[in-house]
Structure 1
Amino acid sequence: MVSSKDFANWLMIQFEQLENGVSLTREDINQLTGRQNFSVVFVHEIHYELMQHGIAFVTDTYRERFYMVRVQDNPWRKQLEDAGHQQTYSNIVSINMTR
């Protein structure tokens, strides 16, 4: 049975060159780690190990699919300003009231 740290290291080695993320199923993780099941703590520990390299490891609501994606430091305000939406973020409450 593989530890979360060892699995995170394996994922890093296998997929560190990918620009886009990859997805895994619960069955994939069970097969790759030799586990019959795993907890959310196991997933959090993988996420913790990968985040040190700028990669997130997250799951869907049902914890059936898992996603390994690069994290970018791209502040939301700058993103909106670059797209020409300076006033869009002035007040979320007022945006909701206008609908």
Structure 2
Amino acid sequence: MTLGKEYCYDNDIIKQFARWLRERFATEKDGVILTREDINQLSGRQSFTLGFVNDIHYELMQHGIAFVTDTSREKFYLIPINSAENWRKKLEIQYEKELYCNVFPIEKSG
């Protein structure tokens, strides 16, 4: 199976767009939100498929950035993942805080 020019063209656009996003937002600690209109304007595309979103996500994940969308594909989120921690570790830390911070004061009697 040979890939057509259209696929190669799309692949180049996807890589360029992912690189553009990464270069501008890689240092964001809290992530950024883009709208569908933003993506259309920035990528030069009138419409795009879920495959387009998945391909952008794949390119960015190699650099520690997730590219995800809401269920209606109206908002898109660039989220840094390098600082994410294991869920068990987070729960253990939370449990320890609750254990040591949830102390009841002893009432003095008269």
Runs of 4+ aligned residues of structure 1 deviating over 6 Å after TM superposition are none
Q: Is 2:50 the partner of 1:40?
A: yes
CA-based RMSD of the aligned residues comes to 1.5
- Equivalent in 18, 21, 28 of residue 8 of structure 1: 18
TM-score (norm 2): 0.72
TM-score (norm 1): 0.80
In 2, the alpha carbon distance for the partners of 1:34 and 1:50 equals 19
In 1, the alpha carbon distance for the partners of 2:31 and 2:73 equals 17
- Equivalent in 56, 63, 68 of residue 78 of structure 2: 68
- Greater shift, 70-79 or 57-66, is seen at 70-79
Structure number with higher helix proportion: 2
Which structure 2 residue ranges, 5 or more long, are not aligned?
1-9, 97-110
In 1, the alpha carbon distance for the partners of 2:38 and 2:89 equals 38
Cα offset, 1:84, TM superposition: 1.1
Which structure 1 residue ranges, 5 or more long, are not aligned?
86-99
Larger Rg: 2
- Greater shift, 69-78 or 4-13, is seen at 69-78
What amino acid is aligned across from residue 60 of structure 1 in structure 2?
A: D
How many residues align structurally?
85
Cα offset, 1:20, TM superposition: 1.2
State, as a whole percentage, how many aligned pairs show the same letter: 56
1:93 paired residue number? none
